[in-house]
Amino acid sequence: MIVLDASVLTKLFLCEVLSDAAEAVVAQHSLVFAPEFARVEVASAITRVCRQKAFDAVAASEGLNRWRRFTTLDTVRFATDVSLLPEAESLSLSLRHPLADCLYLALAKRERLPLITADRPFVDAVGTEFPNVCHLAEYEGLA
């Protein structure tokens, strides 16, 4: 079991640097956790790539459809944002880090699971205090 943030989940649906690593992480784990907010964050990332002209609308629609199918798999669980919000708010204030990232952190903390991200500033900001937060490029199956 593992928590993946949107920066990793998005790599499953866009051909990007570390997409292969994201697929390997998902293949290694029987269950993937994320906050409900990930549904919007991943879809937003896919549409942003289309707006930036790196994807055409057809490819973006296919990516969005694959994302929606992925969210219905038995191996994917979404925690309600409302259940994570108090802890995420506290973490955001104490770490001086964006609330959206802290939703993932609150989930990983609550479930006592590793959190994998492709967001280097996030790892740098919280990695000392939360050693189970790992950059995707450095993940080797922690905890």
Residue 143 maps to a domain: no
Residue 133 maps to a domain: yes
Residue 34 maps to a domain: yes
- Sign of the C-alpha dihedral, residues 99, 101, 102, 107? positive
Could you give the number of structural domains in the chain? Answer: 1
Q: Write the pLDDT tens digit of every residue in 12-34.
A: 998 889 999 999 999 999 999 99
16-to-23, 31, 79, 84 alpha-carbon distances in Å: 12, 23, 27, 29
Residue 114 maps to a domain: yes
Q: Write the pLDDT tens digit of every residue in 85-141.
A: 999 999 999 999 999 999 999 999 999 999 999 999 999 999 889 999 999 999 876
Q: Which two tokens stand for residue 22?
A: 């994201």
Nearest to 15 by CA among 25, 23, 24: 23
> Rounded to 5 degrees, what are φ and ψ at 91?
-65, -40
Q: Is the pTM of this model over 0.85?
A: yes
CATH number at residue 48: 3.40.50.1010
Residue 39 maps to a domain: yes
Residue 103 maps to a domain: yes
